[in-house]
Amino acid sequence: MTKHVTTPTQDVLRGIWHENPVLVQALGLCPTLAVTNSVANSLAMSVATFFVLVGSSFLVSSFKRFIPNEVRIATYVLIIATFVTLADMSLEALVPTVHKALGAFVGLIVVNCIILARQEAFAAKHPVGRSVLDAIGSGFGFTITMLIMGSIREVLGAGSFLGYRLFGASFEPWVIFTLPPGGFFTLGFVLLFLAWWQKRQELQAKVRAWPEGVGERKAA
Amino acid sequence: MTSPPAHSHGAPPPTTPPAHHVSARSLLATLATAGAVAGLLIVVVFGWAAPIIEHNKALALQAAIREVLKQPADCDTLYLVGGRLTAEVPADADLKRLERVYLGYDEQRRPVGFAIAAGEPGFSDIVRVIFGYDPATKQLLGMKVIESKETPGLGDKIEKDSSFVRQFRSALTPLVGVKPERRNPEDRHQVDMITGATISSRVVIRTINNALARLGPVLDGYSAEGK
């Protein structure tokens, strides 16, 4: 197998789009469904996950030469758990209300498979710089998904955005969107939209590639 | 697993370990170093964060006490020691394990009422409330939910629905929860429950009633002593 070399830009963009951890790989669904009931919660969770992801990738990649294969998972989880503890304590000290709203889910970042997957699939095999870029890409990919989910759920479920009321008093919030079923509905619709959009892009690319493009478009 | 290649001349198979063998010492050393570094990092950040977290919690509690006692001029912490309330704690008592209530005073340093924190299991997890209570009139002064994981949009109305919360500023104890349409406006023991949050409303009422059933005599005893 030939080694596929990527550019730094590709390292970042991969996690944001083509290999988006949530929307494409369907990893880390627990926080995506559980804490996206408001934009503020989504943002805080994303910042914490981003910090843990980048920190862990940096450390794992820096010390990969000294970590024997047999204890690598134990060591990675220890590194991840340390960063999670730091994030947890910092959030509690700096933004107590948000920390209270996130509840147990900050601690659960330890078992977020996005993070362990990036360590195993990338940081353990690549240089520090590229591992950090890869982590930044995946972190942004996760953040974008969380913000999409959080915005839809807060606007429909509470009629507000970041706590600011968007509609008049006559608006009756769709409470279900802030409840767990709303998380599933929202994720389902977001994935559905992306699948439809991707199909459409593919079809358009095919039409453009066809020699008699105009005729094919008519047939389609 | 692949079996070792068979040797000619009937010699015993070599016992040399496979090429990638790692000594137990190196495995232990890796984990120990990682653990030590992790511990160090956590201790450093904990040293910075712990005082801030304590301070935030104290501020939040203070704000809650001021709210449920209708902005008292001053406030004392009393500890429940041996069935009596006292401001002085015996030297051998563990402060953290003692139950405490807070006594608020007005400008003339007359007691206005006690703030009591209590919790009971709700629809999901423990609901903790703090409430203000005046033993002289057996009247509530205020109620605030300090911890709850009740369903957003339904159960969490016990903290967000201001008309529900307001009822606890004058109700007489023991409380009786009723459905809004059955309420008798003359009976000041009655409290409207929230439609769609019956369990959560009932938990708040039960918590206050149970806490007062338990602490009421102690509070009365302390008030009588003071006079």
> What is the residue extent of each domain of chain A?
8-206
Q: Looking at beta carbons, which residues of chain A come within 8 Å of B48?
A: 93
Query: What is the percent of chain B where pLDDT is above 70?
Result: 90
Does residue A136 contact residue A73 with C-beta atoms inside 8 Å? no
Does residue A102 contact residue A45 with C-beta atoms inside 8 Å? yes
* Mean pLDDT over each residue of chain B, to the nearest integer: 83
Q: How far is A163 from chain B (nearest CA, A)?
A: 14
Give me the mean pLDDT over the B167-195 stretch. Answer: 83
pLDDT for position A218? 52
Lowest mean pLDDT among A46-50, A77-81, B21-25, B42-46: B21-25
**3-state SS class at B131:** strand
> Does B154 reach chain A within 8 Å, measured CB to CB?
yes
Q: How confident is the model at residue B1 (pLDDT cuts 50, 70, 90)?
A: very low
Q: Looking at beta carbons, which residues of chain A come within 8 Å of B196?
A: none
pLDDT for position B45? 94
Q: What's CA A65's distance to the chain center, in Å? A: 28
pLDDT digits (tens), chain A, 220 positions: 445 677 888 888 888 888 888 888 888 888 899 888 889 889 999 999 999 999 999 999 999 888 888 888 999 999 999 999 999 999 999 988 888 888 778 888 998 889 999 999 999 999 999 999 999 999 999 999 999 999 999 999 888 888 888 888 888 888 889 888 999 999 999 999 999 998 998 888 888 777 655 555 555 4
Does residue A31 contact residue A49 with C-beta atoms inside 8 Å? yes
Q: How confident is the model at residue B40 (pLDDT cuts 50, 70, 90)?
A: very high
Higher pLDDT, B23 or A211: B23
Rounded distance, CA A26 to CA A16, Å? 13
For A65, which residue in chain B has the nearest alpha carbon? B30
CA-nearest of A181, A174, A170, A168 to A155 is A174
- Best residue in A51, A69, A71 to probe B by mutation, most B CBs within 10 Å? A71
C-alpha torsion sign, points A27, A31, A33, A36:
negative
Does the pLDDT of residue B11 top 80, yes or no?
Answer: no
Higher pLDDT, B224 or B40: B40
> Does B63 reach chain A within 8 Å, measured CB to CB?
no
> Across the interface, do A173 and B149 touch by the CB < 8 Å criterion?
no
pLDDT for position A144? 94
pTM to 2 decimals? 0.75
> Does A31 reach chain B within 8 Å, measured CB to CB?
no
pLDDT for position B6? 46
Q: Looking at beta carbons, which residues of chain B come within 8 Å of A71?
A: 27, 30-31
Rounded distance, CA B61 to CA A217, Å? 68
Rounded distance, CA B157 to CA B140, Å? 20
pLDDT for position B89? 77
Q: How confident is the model at residue B8 (pLDDT cuts 50, 70, 90)?
A: very low
Does the pLDDT of residue B100 top 50, yes or no?
Answer: yes
Residues 5-34 on B with a CB inside 8 Å of A are: 20, 22, 26-27, 30-31, 34
Does residue A135 contact residue A54 with C-beta atoms inside 8 Å? yes
Bridge partners (DSSP) of residue B176 are: B190
Pair type for strands B176-178 and B190-192? parallel
For A173, which residue in chain B has the nearest alpha carbon? B153
pLDDT for position A165? 86
Q: How confident is the model at residue B219 (pLDDT cuts 50, 70, 90)?
A: confident
Q: List the single residue in B38, B56, B60 with the smallest CB-CB distance to A78.
A: B38
Q: How far is B122 from chain A (nearest CA, A)?
A: 17
pLDDT for position A212? 59
